[in-house]
Structure 1
Amino acid sequence: MSDISKEIENAKKIIAEQKKRIREAQKSAAKAEGKLRDRQNYILGGALVKLAETDERGVRTIEALLKRLERPADKRAFETFSRLPALSLTEQGGNDEQH
């Protein structure tokens, strides 16, 4: 193998390694972004529940959000949501009655 051929092969290896590093860095960045987004959602959800403990607007907001849930698994997660006694969960199941 000539020196130029060896140099080309080494360059190709370096390029492949760098591409792999880029993919790994992108994957890591996406994972970190997802974790941050999850944390933000968790914090905001907790803040909304805390607000609803003392403010009727918070209760109405949670009711409106629960009515918008579409996935059955998401709806089931709130079937026994009892942290807020003022929350009318019985109307969540697709009933569009006004309060």
Structure 2
Amino acid sequence: AIDEEGNLLWMSAMKTFEGVSSDEEKGRRVREWMDKAMLKDTISMDSLLGVLGIAIACLHKEPSKRPSIVDVVYALCKSDDAGFETSEDGIGSPKVTAR
């Protein structure tokens, strides 16, 4: 996938976090980078930043520095939101529940 400027979307996402240490600045940059329609979703910014961080870790140039699938699943399970609900007009994912 590519962005409006013709850049690869994953490279664009990686640049969003480059040189940023504060969560506030990361949140600001992510909101600028995201599709504005997604900002209407009720997912928390912490969860969004967590998932984006996992995705970026999976794209590390050096394969040995990428997380294992076990690490990815664990990190996703630790996320605050197991699912998300979209705005009133959309359809949301149900919360995951154990049986």
TM-score between both structures, scaled by the size of structure 1: 0.26
The answer to which structure, 1 or 2, has the higher relative contact order (CA under 8 A, 6+ apart) is 2
Q: Which has the higher helix share?
A: 1
Structure with higher Rg: it is 1
